[in-house]
Amino acid sequence: MLYYFYSIKEKEYSYIFNSLNVLKEKEVVQHQNQYPVIFLTLKDLKNNSFEKQRDMFSLLVQEIIRNNQELLTSDLINE
């Protein structure tokens, strides 16, 4: 849910927060859909060995990098 709140790519989902108290907080709302956010879940990494788990994690990170290439040169990233 944090991804959908902060992600600049997910503005079309801002309506899901309309009935939530978070929109009453002006300091928080000014940050809604303003940032590049990388979503990462480990729930599907279920392997029998450390090596397989490490390899799958590596593939996951590679996929995230491929899907977010624009962030490597973006002015939105300053630190």
Q: Going by C-beta distance under 8 Å and a sequence separation of 6 or more, which residues neighbour residue 77?
A: 36, 71
The answer to whether the predicted template modeling score (pTM) of the entire model surpasses 0.75 is no
Q: Could you read off the pLDDT of 1-10 as tens digits, one per residue?
A: 899 999 998 9
- Burial class of residue 43, CB neighbours in 10 A (0-12, 13-18, 19+): exposed
> For the segment 12-55, what is each residue's pLDDT rounded down to a tens digit?
999 999 999 999 999 999 999 998 888 888 888 888 899 999 99
